Amino acid sequence: MKRYIVGITGASGSIYAKRLLEVLEAKEAEVYVTVTEAGRQVWNDELEVNIRQQLGDNKDSNSIIYLDNQNLSAPIASGSFQTDGMIVIPCSMATLASITQGHSSNLLERAADVALKEKRQLIAVPRETPLNTIHLENMLKLSKLGADIIPPMPAFYNQPETIDDLVNFVVGRVLDRLGVEHDIYQRWKD
Ligand SMILES: Cc1cc2nc3c(=O)[nH]c(=O)nc-3n(C[C@H](O)[C@H](O)[C@H](O)COP(=O)(O)O)c2cc1C
């Protein structure tokens, strides 16, 4: 069974995280989820459903394990806890800056720091527009540290018709990078 960490922050685009979790759950992966305070607020606003109800109280799911972002003694805070990768989706510019600086002031940032120090896959899905020079420099720095930067930029060559199509394209590209098989978007010339 694959084991992933999903970190959700207060950038716009909670729907990307929701879709990613649905796919990983369907794949019966073990998924450790932690959400920043701003991430919780934006999720509740954008998806109009309480994130705790959707994730933490989902008794039917053996797959999603919800961790308090202030709990720095959670398993994912330690490098000895083996995982197959971490995805920060969506990734705010604030969390991007903290990860890039090795700040580790909450569980999400610490888990990302662990991924970098253990040379495990770290994928960031940074969302902001327009981007200032600090944002761009932080993305470059994170990329140089070995992380994958996958901005949520849907393509239009596959003729998307719905918001789901756009979301699936972005999440599909994250899954491609993780090496998880899926068919949630139509590939070029498929
Ligand atoms: C509705 C809403 C949308 C936001 N969208 C973004 C965004 O797209 N990108 C971003 O970097 N910050 C965005 N922010 C601001 C972040 O939530 C804010 O910087 C916060 O401190 C990030 O904290 P976190 O990184 O701990 O989640 C948004 C805030 C709100 C309320």
Per-residue model confidence (pLDDT) at position 56: 62
Coil/strand/helix, residue 178: helix
Share of the chain above pLDDT 70, in %: 96
- Atom number of ligand 1 nearest to Cα 96: 25
Mean pLDDT of 80-87: 97
40 is known to lie in a ligand binding site? no
Per-residue model confidence (pLDDT) at position 5: 98
Which region among 45-59, 74-88, 113-127 has the lowest average model confidence (pLDDT)?
45-59
DSSP track, 73-109: TSGGGSTTS--S-EEEEEE-HHHHHHHHHT---SHHH
Per-residue model confidence (pLDDT) at position 100: 98
pLDDT band at residue 54 under the 50/70/90 scheme: confident
Cβ atoms within 10 A of the Cβ of 102, count? 13
Distance 90 CA to ligand 1 centre (A): 9
Residue whose Cα lies nearest atom 22 of ligand 1: it is: 10
Per-residue model confidence (pLDDT) at position 61: 66
Per-residue model confidence (pLDDT) at position 156: 94
Tokens of 97: 């800056």
Tokens of 131: 């981007």
* Fold exhibited by the domain 3-178: Rossmann fold (3.40.50)
Q: Are 85 and 122 in contact (CB under 8 A)?
A: yes
* Tokens 């799911």, located at residue: 61
Mean pLDDT of 137-141: 98
Distance 11 CA to ligand 1 centre (A): 4
Q: Are 47 and 123 in contact (CB under 8 A)?
A: no
pLDDT above 60 (res 176):
yes
Per-residue model confidence (pLDDT) at position 51: 78
pLDDT band at residue 52 under the 50/70/90 scheme: confident
Per-residue model confidence (pLDDT) at position 27: 93
Mean pLDDT of 46-63: 72
Distance 126 CA to ligand 1 centre (A): 11
* Sheet containing 122-126, strands listed edge to edge, beginning at the edge strand earlier in sequence: 64-67, 30-35, 3-8, 86-91, 122-126, 148-149
Per-residue model confidence (pLDDT) at position 14: 97
Q: Which amino acid is at 89?
A: I
Domain ranges within the chain, ordered by starting residue: 3-178
| Ligand 1 binding pocket mutation candidate from 35, 40, 44, 92 (most atoms within 8 A of CB) | 92
pLDDT above 70 (res 59):
no
Distance 39 CA to ligand 1 centre (A): 7
pLDDT above 90 (res 6):
yes
Q: Kindly list the protein residues whose Cβ atom lies closer than 6 A to any atom of ligand 1.
A: 9-12, 36, 38-39, 41-42, 45, 92-95, 127-128
Residue 175 dihedral angles phi and psi, to the nearest 5°: -65, -40
Helices 133-144 and 93-101, interaxial angle, to 10°?
50
19 is known to lie in a ligand binding site? no
